[in-house]
Amino acid sequence: MHHFQTRNGEMHCEGVPLRRIARRVGTPVYVYSHATLSHHYKVFDAAFASMPHVICYSMKANSNGSVIRSFTNLGSGVDIVSGGELARALAAGAPPGKIVYSGVGKKVWEIEAALRRGILMFNVESREELEAIDAVAGRMRKRAPISIRVNPDVDPKTHPYISTGLKKNKFGIHIGQAVKDYEWAARRKHIEVVGVDCHIGSQLTDVAPFVDAAERVRSLVDRLLDMGLRIRLVDIGGGLGIRYNDELPPHPKQYADAVVKAFRGLPVTLVLEPGRVLVGNAGVLVTEVLYTKPIPAPDGKGRKYFFIVDAAMNDLARPSLYGSYHAILPVGKAPRGKVTADVVGPICESGDFLARDRAMPPYAAGDLLAVMSAGAYGFSMSSNYNTRPRAAEVMVSGSRFEIVRERETVRDVFRDERTASFLMQGRRRKS
Ligand SMILES: *Cc1c(COP(=O)(O)O)cnc(C)c1O
């Protein structure tokens, strides 16, 4: 469910025509629907009502402060993966006691910052990281709350770049070895074992892998409780998929029921780390067609088109990175007919495309297009490649819209560069 609908031939975000935003703010621009963000959070939260739980929005999916605050205003915590995300989560109103910190490469300053703020727990991914956290906490005379991220070795059958719960992935500690790391951790003076964590991948469209993982985690929790460890948090990560094209992902309620079933009766609080499912369909990327270019079709039959638009792989990397599908719809009335086209950006890479060999209306220069389901891993993965200033971000609520991140200027992009002094020798200072 989302709030991007076409009325009278114009696509709206809630009550605002996308064309009005494009005219005011320019393109490319990300547009987020606040009503959709809230709705997704509430549905997800309600799905877990039968068990104590904390939702920690996985902010790497979309790190805009207004997006984070949309959730923290509803009581959400945040799942972070860096010291930078910690600062941003706190700035967006996240209570430290609802922050969980994941990631394989936490640095000393990041561990210190998280300990100073008193986060809910560290999700630890290796024995050496446990040692580092113990040492840092010792210096600070604190006890660090930890869970071990276990790798349950289940295949989420998603794209290889976004599966994380297989033995061969860099994430977590293999579930078969975790007990001895838990035993070790439980003896450390500056570590407090509080939970078990796993996250098996992203864009999962089937509950079966979640069930497999949950069952394996449940056995481990039972064993740890038998050993006398006080496990009170069970974090089952994120990863629930959304519909981009013809996927049929489970409803949050089906997902929640399957997870809750695995942990029913345990005296624990569930921690959920949803990212994509909360924000993916709450955002679109609006772009303008700059040029169209026909070429002979590769099969020799007829023609194919390039629609060259002003958004590119630096704005939305998913198609180039994973071959992902994003629906592309007209913002205004579409021209009649269908042609085969690639929608491509201005970047000097053949991998720079938003859609390939797609049947679509014969758009013309000046047409506005909406790249759908771009709220997750869109802006947050964007870059300045080709010295392209990053896009503006806008949030809509009802009939209002506000810029929630200004478009970068070209000057912003290279402001922090310095010319090495030894390159300036031929250009003696005047004076
Ligand atoms: C990326 C990530 C998530 C969120 O994944 P989604 O597929 O966006 O729900 C949750 N937990 C961890 C540890 C992650 O790395």
Superfamily of segment(s) 34-277: Alanine racemase (3.20.20.10)
Query: What pairing do the DSSP bridges indicate for beta strands 368-371 and 328-330?
Result: antiparallel
Distance 166 CA to ligand 1 centre (A): 15
Q: What is the pLDDT of residue 425?
A: 78
Q: What is the pLDDT of residue 209?
A: 94
- Region 283-310: what's the mean pLDDT? 94
- Region 318-326: what's the mean pLDDT? 96
pLDDT in tens, 69-119: 999 999 999 999 999 999 999 999 999 999 999 999 999 999 999 999 999
- Region 268-292: what's the mean pLDDT? 98
Which ligand 1 atom minimizes the distance to the CA of 203? 7
Evaluate: CB of 156 within 6 angstroms of ligand 1: no
Q: What is the pLDDT of residue 153?
A: 86
Distance 187 CA to ligand 1 centre (A): 30
Does position 1 have pLDDT exceeding 90, yes or no? Answer: no
pLDDT in tens, 335-371: 999 999 999 999 998 899 999 999 999 999 999 999 9
Evaluate: CB of 102 within 6 angstroms of ligand 1: yes
Active-site residue flag, 348: yes
- Predicted TM-score (pTM) of the model is 0.96
Evaluate: CB of 60 within 6 angstroms of ligand 1: yes
- Region 126-132: what's the mean pLDDT? 97
Give the residue extent of every domain in the chain.
34-277
The one catalytic residue in 13, 56, 198, 348 is 348
